[in-house]
Chain A
């Protein structure tokens, strides 16, 4: 086993090592290290810590791992690079600091990618999420010709201009770790230290699940039920958003977060329906538009709340 001191200089030896180093690095840069959001999402951006917190004037700095699900990317665990369930590492800082690029390069060094022997490049790639009504400008970061991260300055989220602008970094953890560790097939990647009493590979942990989910996503998921759930989530989101902000006891409590959860749900249900191949090209746009409408209205509500403005929470009336 390597000592913590060696850890700073030697290359990582396993997947979790890469994650732990990113966690320590961004913690040292002052980010709140959050935990993954407890819902199915397609990317780390969907975590309310990014989507909602990039709105409003209140400063913010967070980093977290986000398990992400893309049902259409399932390959029954056979493809060396594709998974329907994978991990993203997400950093979001508002306002974006002037040295964000340097901070990012520091994170690569922390996981053993020395920019003096690698070729690190910022290649134009404008980011857009039609589902979230969000876009930004930035780059894909290339290391030796491989895309290792997405680097974005958010300009708009949920249809709202971002003022100030958040800087968002997204690392595709499996791909990045495979490169750092020199592994050719994701399932062969050591998850914990290979010298551990019980060494586990990525495949030991996920291969079976990848097969099962690929089958369910592509072949088995009950599309009528999914469709119903999509409509339920949409209806509940709308109901929450149209409920009066003041409750029976006279307390003013807008419910942007619960509403947004329903929007996330609808988005994932749409992805499942898509994987089942029951959504035609023309319908696709309509579904994406429905989710976007929800996300926008959640954003409209969130920007009025103290989490966005930084104002104190409204006091409850006496006796409530």
Chain B
């Protein structure tokens, strides 16, 4: 058994690529070793900005010797056949063995492949891994041909067993593997040798390198929290930033500073975004004031002045950045107070999409449609229209120009500054939501109206110009927009017929695109987009545990463009099918459906009317008549009242009579009157089912 240590030492690896690179190195090397017949106990990968490291424990010293037996030609076969066999096995004639076989004497060869030492295999596998490493972007340097993420400087490759450590002989494009590495770029740049992983990690630590990114993250988190605590602040958590910063340093040294008073009136989102995006600072919040008052920067070095120069430099850069932000903020506020008319004017020059007009055109459409949606979601129509008109004006503000991720957030501040109602300002902030599948869904009526109008305008627009998502391509995030609409509707229980909205929105687009054409295009758009919504809905509901076939069974029911109704129906159906009654009922309904379909096929008529209890011959038939008499109005009433659980209960009551009926009654009798009557009775079952769903589409 041996341990293997690999370190690939390079110029600075982008932080965002390190986690993936660790996994790739581990997989490429361990897969290669296993493929070549070696086994290992455990493997761990590490990264710093300048190194990728893999430590493998318990690696077998050799690959196993393998034996393969191969059957050759008959002993009396022509010489040429035997020669061919010898060539293909690499053996000589005296190494063959003649054995009796069904067809007489046959040559057998036993090919032995001796195991190979681990070092040979490691050298091959590592070279292949380096040459084929899947960096998202790689480069060449100098006059060489090797590709790596940045210039690769050295390779440490060491096998250690009871007898000691030995360098794996390996050379790639002039880089010869060794047992040496270097420490921190500035604090310990000297080369040193290592004898194994423990020695390596310990010496690196002495050379001011924390090998494990998780440890660096923990150290940053802890020290930043301590620094903040000492000032009575708390760090605003940001895991993404933490991972990134841990990938930028080998020896994290958090330093804390205060934001100058003159910048504290900036919105906290602005402070946080500016510090994070430009400088990779963590924000520190004063829990008493709720304001962002400080920051933590993470240096990569311990200095003789305890970071004073570094902190001063960072403060200076921050001041310059925040001066810019303050300048934007004050200019923007002035524009907001004057009613944002310049911004509205400016959006006329901003193209939304070449065929869908400018942002200003878009706002005009959304405003008109938000008005129409408003009453459906309980919003004031005037406010919804007003909110739609101002919600996107911040796109022209200097602050959003600088920080696009603050769109909406700034919109709210500016709307308030313009003296608009809180509901309107909130809609400016919230109308982009929900963005992701776990994003919070707005519930304020005005926000909901504008959010729906915004997304529906986008969807119908791209449908009108036939730019739909295909396969993995969805450049305009239309799937996300549709899911946004679905969640807005469902979470808020908004009762609206999407088809009608598609028509309203689609007409607005088509009128501009292809004036004079119309009805047919609109109908196509409506149907096509509704089908797209139904697909997205299936994905959404599948995540909530509702099967796709159950959704298929309700899609063709009336009102399927009312997603709340559709989902209520599907949920009730899903629930009832989880019960015994439900599954048996499903079988009964399907059986009735199948028998009817066969008979109708054979007779060329549709059995749909006229079942009469007077032709019933058995108790079970009469019982089924009675049960249907009772169930039908109950189902109908429940469906009309949209009480799907009650409808399910009512239809589930048919289970026993249907079962008994099929148990006792032969449909196809010689008496044609009785047969027809029974088929018509089955059609009453089918109709009862159809009031609820298309049961034929349900599997099982």
Q: CB within 8 Å of B: which residues of A? A: 80-81, 95-98, 101, 115-124, 126, 136-139, 143-146, 153, 155, 162-165, 167, 179, 280-282
Contact = CB atoms under 8 A, between A and B. Distances in A.
Among A97, A137, A165, the one with the most B-chain Cβ atoms within 10 Å of its Cβ is A137
A136 B151 CA distance: 13
Contacts of A146: 313, 316-317
A136 B138 CA distance: 10
B310 interface: yes
Given A98-B151, A122-B11, A282-B354, A145 B142 contact: no
Contacts of B248: 121, 123
B139 A179 contact: no
Nearest to B138: A137
A281 B299 CA distance: 40
Interface in B36-50: 49
Interface in B136-188: 137, 139-144, 149-151, 153, 186
B303 A117 contact: yes
Interface SS majority for chain B: loop
B213 interface: no
27 contacts: A95-B141, A95-B142, A96-B141, A115-B186, A118-B309, A118-B310, A121-B248, A121-B300, A122-B12, A123-B248, A124-B12, A126-B137, A136-B139, A137-B137, A137-B139, A138-B150, A144-B314, A144-B316, A145-B279, A146-B313, A146-B316, A146-B317, A153-B139, A164-B144, A165-B142, A280-B349, A281-B350
Contacts of A165: 139-143
Given A98-B142, A145-B318, A139 B12 contact: yes
B571 interface: no
A116 B316 CA distance: 19
A248 B300 CA distance: 64
A278 to B, nearest CB: 12
A126 B305 CA distance: 33
A163 B310 CA distance: 39
Interface of B: 11-12, 14-16, 49, 137, 139-144, 149-151, 153, 186, 248-249, 279, 297, 299-301, 303-305, 309-310, 312-314, 316-318, 320, 349-351, 354
B140 A145 contact: no
B141 A179 contact: no
B305 A117 contact: yes
A172 B351 CA distance: 34
B322 to A, nearest CB: 13
Contact of A153 (B141, B249, B304): B141
A153 B151 contact: yes
Nearest to A144: B313
B244 to A, nearest CB: 10
Given A97-B142, A146-B317, A155-B140, 11 more contacts: A81-B320, A95-B143, A98-B151, A101-B11, A117-B303, A123-B12, A123-B248, A124-B12, A144-B310, A167-B141, A281-B351
Nearest to A141: B12
B310 to A, nearest CB: 4
Contacts of B317: 144-146
A145 B144 CA distance: 33
B139 A155 contact: yes
B621 to A, nearest CB: 75
A-B pairs, 7 with minimum CB distance: A144-B313, A124-B14, A122-B12, A164-B143, A145-B314, A95-B143, A119-B299
A118 B153 contact: no
B310 A119 contact: yes
Nearest to A101: B11
Nearest to B153: A98
A116 B141 contact: no
A93 B142 CA distance: 9
Contacts of A124: 12, 14-16
A155 B142 CA distance: 11
Contacts of A139: 12
Nearest to B16: A124
A101 B351 CA distance: 43
A135 to B, nearest CB: 10
Among A123, A126, A136, A167, the one with the most B-chain Cβ atoms within 10 Å of its Cβ is A123
B556 to A, nearest CB: 44
A117 B12 contact: no
B385 to A, nearest CB: 28
B313 A143 contact: yes
Contact of B297 (A95, A120, A145, A164): A145
Contacts of A281: 350-351
A75 B337 CA distance: 25
A126 B137 CA distance: 10
A11 to B, nearest CB: 12
Among A120, A145, A155, the one with the most B-chain Cβ atoms within 10 Å of its Cβ is A145
Nearest to A122: B12
Contacts of B149: 137
Nearest to A182: B316
A133 B14 CA distance: 23
Contacts of B279: 145
Given A95-B143, A98-B153, A155-B140, A145 B313 contact: yes
A167 B144 CA distance: 13
A117 B300 CA distance: 11
A189 B186 CA distance: 30
B300 A164 contact: no
